[in-house]
Amino acid sequence: MDIQLSDHFTYRKLMRFVLPSIVMMIFTSIYTVVDGLFVSNFVGKTAFAAINLTMPFLMGLSALGFMIGTGGSAIVARTLGEGRQEKANESFSMLVYVMIIGGLILSALCFVALPTVCRAFGAEGELLENAVMYGRISSISLTAFMLQNVFQSFFVTAEKPQLGLAVVVAAGVSNMVLDYLFIVVLKFGLAGAAMATVTGELIGGIFPLFYFARNNSSRLRLGKTRFSAKLLLQTCTNGSSELMTNLSASVVNSLFNLQLMRISGENGVAAFGTIMYANFIFNAIFFGYSIGSAPIVSYHYGAENHGELKNMFKKSLTFVGFWGILLVCLAQIIASPLAHLFAGYDPELCAMTSHGFQLFSRAFLLSGLNIFGSAFFTALNNGLLSALISFLRTLVFQMAAVLILPMLFGLDGIWNAVAVAEFLTMFVTVSLLIGQRKRYKYV
């Protein structure tokens, strides 16, 4: 029997409902991880560094999909909780259509702007050529990737998280298989990695369009709608924290790369790339949980079911606390094997990557709480507080840390910067959760 948003969620039922979203986020992260793994081992560290220089810009543009998906799904889920099915479908349809148009425009701008952007990141010579080539091929599927990010949230709101998982798994497996075919077998090099990613993203973004455009068994369907500037503004405001998270990550990762180029050169950028791959996958657990649980919170908020809000809040804190401890321990164990997997061909780079990840991994202890706190306020339709947490966590505190700590501790200061930022953000998150408890009645 399908689990519905209106259900009472035990720990078991909650995990069954959010697990597809968690796995979905992990597979989304695997796109760039698999590219990096094959490129690093079969093409070389210059091509590997090119991916890491280009990716922050591409991910920054795709962040609009997360904003529309998370902000819009919270509004649509609340509308469903209020019993307005037709209005929910109209809102869902408008947001998807807006994303298609916006994605196509941004894809064209990305293609044109890439050389300038890569030079600004410090690329030149072969590194510049590789970065521009990889980015331009990847821009072909940028619209589809944005749609995939949108549908990740709406599949949950439609009470079809398993179908959303199946789509992303199919896209991820296609990417992995084609990486092997294009890079190892056909020797297409870095271009092959980009082509594999494009194929996977097209699968992940286009299939949901066909599913929601026809009669289906979910709670949502694409259909006729009218443009509403008010709805779009509410969606963007409500999802601004997710946009801020991804845009800030792009800006800050670029700053990390600049600092690393200055302190340790190309090796530092390559090491940071490997660490970021692990960071994507580990934090995907927290982002996936937040995406999977947010529509439940929004639904019961719209239905004014305060008992279920309290239930979700308590169980969510237990989840992020348990996984935070587990991931820190796991990171310490896999640091060396991970470094050898990506950089075993270069002893110096391998040692730098292993040491850096051991220090960086302390951030996982608190990142889950901060990610959930931001998503929780988005689900409650309070985009301002959600954005405040994200803005401080991913931009202000990280930028300050990556600029100041290297002056005091050198390269180790860079590896510790994110953990320090998460620690500072924790005080903000906890203060807001305590301060808003009476207004939303989740405690």
SS3 category, 96: helix
Dist. CA 440–CA 72, nearest whole Å: 20
| Residue 70 tokens, joined | 């998370």
Contact (Cβ atoms closer than 8 angstroms) between residue 247 and residue 66: no
Helix spans in 240-363 (H): 240-302, 306-343, 347-360
To 5 degrees, how large is the angle CA 165–CA 111–CA 172? 20
Contact (Cβ atoms closer than 8 angstroms) between residue 301 and residue 81: yes
Q: Is residue 77 part of a domain?
A: yes
| Residue 380 tokens, joined | 């409650």
Dist. CA 155–CA 217, nearest whole Å: 12
Q: Is residue 97 part of a domain?
A: yes
Q: Is residue 2 part of a domain?
A: no
What total of structural domains would you count in the chain?
A: 1
| pLDDT of amino acid 31 | 64
Q: Is residue 4 part of a domain?
A: no
- CA proximity to 246, closest of 63, 106, 54: 63
- CA proximity to 107, closest of 132, 131, 136: 136
Q: Please identify which residue in the block is written with the tokens 């939303």.
A: 440
Dist. CA 200–CA 149, nearest whole Å: 13
Q: Is residue 103 part of a domain?
A: yes
Q: Is residue 1 part of a domain?
A: no
The distance of Cα 240 from the centroid of its chain, to the nearest Å, equals 14
| Residue 222 tokens, joined | 């694409």
Q: Which residues, including other chains, have CB under 8 Å from residue 425's CB and lie 6 or more apart?
A: 366, 370, 389, 392, 393, 397
What is the chain's Cα-based Rg? Answer: 21
Contact (Cβ atoms closer than 8 angstroms) between residue 129 and residue 45: no
Print the domain residue range for 373: 11-440
Dist. CA 434–CA 212, nearest whole Å: 39
Mean pLDDT in order along the chain per 10 residues (443 residues): 76 88 79 76 82 80 84 87 89 95 93 89 84 93 92 87 86 89 92 91 92 90 92 84 70 80 79 83 90 86 86 93 95 89 80 90 94 90 86 88 91 92 96 92 86
Q: Is residue 5 part of a domain?
A: no
Q: Is residue 427 part of a domain?
A: yes
DSSP string, 419-435: HHHHHHHHHHHHHHHHH
pTM over 0.85: no
Contact (Cβ atoms closer than 8 angstroms) between residue 291 and residue 165: no
- 127, amino acid identity: L
Q: Count CB atoms within 10 A of the CB of residue 112.
A: 10
Give me the phi and psi of 170, to 5 degrees please: -60, -40
Q: Please identify which residue in the block is written with the tokens 């300038």.
A: 116
| Residue 399 tokens, joined | 């930028």
In angstroms, the first-to-last Cα distance of the chain is 30
The distance of Cα 48 from the centroid of its chain, to the nearest Å, equals 21
| pLDDT of amino acid 109 | 93
* Type and span of the H or E element at 203: helix 190-213
| pLDDT of amino acid 387 | 83
| Residue 375 tokens, joined | 């998503």
| Residue 214 tokens, joined | 């026809």
Dist. CA 339–CA 272, nearest whole Å: 11
